[in-house]
Amino acid sequence: MSRAASGERPRRERVREQQRQQPIEEIRQAAFAVLDADGVTAVSLAAVGKAVGMTPQALRRHFPSRDALVDALVIAACADLGVAVAAAAAPTPQGGTIPKGARVALLAREYRRWALAHPRRYVMLFTDRSPDVRDPAAGAAAVNQGMLALIAALAAIAAPARASTLDRALLRWGQAIGAPADTPPAVLGPAVQLWSRVHGLVTLEIAGAFDSMGLDAGLLLDVEVGTALDALGA
């Protein structure tokens, strides 16, 4: 058993860890402010250093490169999105449960709400980044909390099993993200499909496409959720 896991870390070490984390959190918040104002391309060690009153050299002690900084933003944004979506379908504090189909709608609406509240963070998650930065494992694990909530909501609906050429790949993926072992492709497939559909709507909405077409993106989302539920026989 390692010393760290034994809970007997000396106090001095814990204080040092807090001192190390505090500027990191400050830097991250400043970087999010730059990102939210001007997009991910504006995030640089110089711009963020200026915002927190540090030289790029001092900043490098915490984030050795711009990529490392963007990496941290991606992980934090993924976690934030994953937690928000998962929470949207959690049982109410009063112990009440949400009707099966309604949970799917709540998840999809919360995903859209988060994306519209942080459009530049959302776009960053799916943008050209350096290959090293793409999909840091910690970010993927965090955002998968939302996906697992969607899978649970869809699994609660009786799904007719229909074999598809995608089944084996879906099962491997479900296993990789930690979905319950008995989750069938007939649940995993609709989960991927609904996510991709909501992503399509949300990115077009952020890009202003539906505004210029005079279409209500919220209604389009509800139609997609309804279609997904109909297909599952809900």
| Interface ranges with its own copies (CB under 8 A) | 39, 41, 120, 123, 125-128, 134-135, 140, 164-166, 169-170, 172-173, 176, 189, 192-193, 196-201, 203-204, 207-209, 212-216, 219-220, 223-224, 227, 231
Judged by beta carbon, residue 55 or residue 227, the one nearer its own copies is: 227
Asked if 48 and 27 count as a contact pair (C-beta separation under 8 A), the reply is yes
Asked if 185 and 164 count as a contact pair (C-beta separation under 8 A), the reply is yes
Q: CA neighbours within 13 Å on the CB side: how many for 122? A: 20
Quote the distance between the C-alpha of residue 12 and its chain's center: 35
Measured between its terminal Cα atoms, the distance across the chain in Å is 49
Judged by beta carbon, residue 53 or residue 208, the one nearer its own copies is: 208
Residue closest to 134 by CA, chosen among 121, 122, 124: 124
Nearest distance from C-beta of residue 6 to its own copies, angstroms? 34
Nearest distance from C-beta of residue 171 to its own copies, angstroms? 10
| Residues 177, 231: Cα–Cα separation, whole Å | 24
Nearest distance from C-beta of residue 64 to its own copies, angstroms? 22
Helices H, strands E: what count in the chain?
12, 0
Judged by beta carbon, residue 90 or residue 223, the one nearer its own copies is: 223
Judged by beta carbon, residue 51 or residue 204, the one nearer its own copies is: 204
Judged by beta carbon, residue 96 or residue 160, the one nearer its own copies is: 160
Amino acid, single-letter form, for residue 119: P
Nearest distance from C-beta of residue 197 to its own copies, angstroms? 5
Judged by beta carbon, residue 40 or residue 156, the one nearer its own copies is: 40
The DSSP symbol for 90 reads S
Give me the count of residues in the chain. Answer: 234
Nearest distance from C-beta of residue 156 to its own copies, angstroms? 22
Nearest distance from C-beta of residue 201 to its own copies, angstroms? 5
